Chain A
């Protein structure tokens, strides 16, 4: 049976943030297919899991969100990526949208907003 659930890969170095986001998405009927703590892990999981959406934190060790986004776009130009930012990262958000991110959302997470943003990214 093929599931219609939106399949999501969460990329964030913060375990707290990953857990919070997983809870929000699963409560909304979406499927979290994997979690990565940095850009490098995300690239590996993206290829193997083929998620519908990647939520990608910007500030991370090892490989940050902007570099991970560039590499994801090289692998798959159609990848749907939602950037996750702290306030004050306007410059990074603009750069990410130019590189190919579909949407962005700021922390702390607001339930309705994040669901709305994921759905919008699916429609793009």
Chain B
């Protein structure tokens, strides 16, 4: 996430080009090793334990290190050591950008300070951004308390199941939104809510292809079905979180729209995302459902 948040800022200020950012992104993804692999290499976990954690992680809204600690496989100190070995995304960015001559480290520091000032971010938030800590980043961009939890579950799920190549912008509330394609799901019971992923053009292919493991030609109903399964998984995890707070909710079958659709409702939240560099909107209502053109 850091590389996209800071990289897009640098492009907007004409400090680097989008081609240079792409080159940094490529190098970083080539060299970044998963935590589980480092733990096995360090002989802190067996392969079987790492696989077990991966399995649990697919079904839970938790980080690899947190599950490893819960299972008694690793201590907090060991997880910190592994994170150090994995490397800080900010330093990795700095190393690649300076080695390639795109920026000096002093320029990076200056730009980062400006980024912090423009966004009014605290030191704590900046540390979270530099470390790709989604638990810090998501609340910094999602401003409405009612949708923070659902947004957190949804974005962490996308990060785990679809891609770590994510960018997010500031959330906003609206009563009306138009999109080209949409997969969404209502939930009802102790809380009425709708969560969906909306795209323009074929941007939802970034989600559909990654989840189904195939290449759809266009965002047709089959591709939307794949996106709908991702929304279903997000909603299931959100329902689990609500259930732990004593709220029981029922998931309804997902709905798909493969043409221009207008979403209407009492105020609902929109979180602009880029998933594998394609624009996608995460829409979340809290306390009422979202209705669609024609309903």
Interface residues of A (CB under 8 A from B): 13-17, 19-20, 59-61, 85-91, 106-108, 110, 112-113
B55:A113 contact, CB within 8 angstroms: yes
B240:A16 contact, CB within 8 angstroms: no
A87 CB contact (under 8 Å) in B59, B213, B252 = B59
Interface residues of B (CB under 8 A from A): 55, 58-60, 161, 211-213, 222, 225-226, 228-229, 232-233, 235-243, 248-249, 251-254
Knowing A16-B229, A106-B59, say if A88 contacts B240 (CB, 8 Å). Answer: yes
A12 — nearest CB in chain B belongs to which residue? B229
A89:B225 contact, CB within 8 angstroms: no
Q: Point out which of A110, A112, A113 has the most chain B C-beta atoms below 10 A from its C-beta.
A: A110
A92 — nearest CB in chain B belongs to which residue? B250
Q: Point out which of B58, B161, B226, B232 has the most chain A C-beta atoms below 10 A from its C-beta.
A: B232
Q: How far is the CB of B61 from the nearest CB of chain A, in Å?
A: 8
Q: How far is the CB of B47 from the nearest CB of chain A, in Å?
A: 13
B251:A87 contact, CB within 8 angstroms: no
B234 — nearest CB in chain A belongs to which residue? A86
B237:A108 contact, CB within 8 angstroms: no
B161:A16 contact, CB within 8 angstroms: no
Knowing A13-B253, A59-B251, say if A110 contacts B55 (CB, 8 Å). Answer: yes
Q: Which residues of A have CB within 8 Å of B251?
A: 59, 86, 88-89
Q: Which residues of A have CB within 8 Å of B232?
A: 14, 59, 86, 107
Knowing A87-B236, A88-B236, A88-B240, say if A17 contacts B229 (CB, 8 Å). Answer: yes
A13 CA to B251 CA in the complex, in Å?
Answer: 14
A64 — nearest CB in chain B belongs to which residue? B253
B252 CB contact (under 8 Å) in A19, A59, A89, A107 = A59
A113 CA to B228 CA in the complex, in Å?
Answer: 23
A88:B235 contact, CB within 8 angstroms: yes
B253:A89 contact, CB within 8 angstroms: no
B58:A61 contact, CB within 8 angstroms: no
Besides A59-B251, A87-B60, 5 other CB < 8 A contacts? A14-B225, A85-B236, A88-B236, A88-B241, A107-B233
B227 — nearest CB in chain A belongs to which residue? A16
A15 CA to B216 CA in the complex, in Å?
Answer: 13
A15:B237 contact, CB within 8 angstroms: no
A17 CA to B229 CA in the complex, in Å?
Answer: 8
B239:A107 contact, CB within 8 angstroms: no
**Residue contacts A-B, CB under 8 angstroms, 18 given:** A14-B225, A14-B232, A15-B222, A16-B226, A19-B212, A20-B212, A59-B232, A85-B236, A86-B235, A86-B251, A87-B59, A88-B235, A88-B236, A88-B238, A88-B240, A88-B249, A90-B243, A108-B233
Q: Point out which of B60, B236, B239 has the most chain A C-beta atoms below 10 A from its C-beta.
A: B236
B224 — nearest CB in chain A belongs to which residue? A16
Q: How far is the CB of A14 from the nearest CB of chain B, in Å?
A: 5
Q: Which residues of B have CB within 8 Å of A107?
A: 229, 232-233, 236
Knowing A20-B212, A59-B252, A90-B243, say if A14 contacts B238 (CB, 8 Å). Answer: no
Q: Which residues of B have CB within 8 Å of A89?
A: 236, 239, 251
A88:B55 contact, CB within 8 angstroms: no
Q: How far is the CB of A17 from the nearest CB of chain B, in Å?
A: 6
Knowing A88-B235, A90-B243, say if A14 contacts B58 (CB, 8 Å). Answer: no
